[in-house]
């Protein structure tokens, strides 16, 4: 019985720090949206295949109907300007959508 208790306590002690680390990773990510010039399923496929290869990019979602691309990335490894450049490098226009759902104009 004592062996089972010791194993259970050891498992809890190992699992607790892992849960805290997972929570910290969520705080380090951010999601940004871009309005793009994607127009077909091949465009979506190109972005979904290439954008995750960029440094720090964790998730990419494309919406062909609205022509929006949402990118979740690690804040310490990438930024919206670099992600915008990566989309443009693939041959598409990209304009950052701000929090109030308006397209941010380039300077």
Token pair, residue 60, equals: 């990419």
Q: Is the pLDDT of residue 99 over 70?
A: yes
Q: Supply the pLDDT for residue 14.
A: 74
CA distances from residue 80 to 11, 23, 37, 50 in whole angstroms, order as listed:
40, 23, 17, 16
Q: Give dist(CA 84, CA 41) in Å, integer.
A: 20
The position carrying tokens 């990438």 is 78
pLDDT tens column, 20-71? 555 455 679 999 999 999 999 999 999 999 999 999 999 999 999 999 999 9
Q: Is the pTM of this model over 0.85?
A: no
Q: 62: exposed, middle or buried (C-beta count within 10 Å: 0-12, 13-18, 19+)?
A: buried
């Amino acid at each position: 019985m004592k062996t089972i208790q010791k194993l259970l306590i050891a498992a809890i002690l190992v699992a607790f720090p892992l849960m805290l680390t997972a929570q910290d990773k969520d705080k380090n990510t951010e999601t940004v949206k871009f309005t793009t010039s994607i127009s077909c399923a091949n465009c979506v496929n190109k972005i979904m295949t290439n954008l995750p290869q960029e440094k720090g990019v964790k998730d990419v979602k494309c919406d062909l109907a609205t022509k929006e691309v949402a990118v979740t990335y690690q804040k310490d490894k990438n930024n919206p300007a670099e992600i915008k450049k990566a989309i443009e490098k693939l041959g598409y226009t990209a304009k950052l959508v701000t929090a109030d759902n308006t397209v941010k104009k380039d300077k």
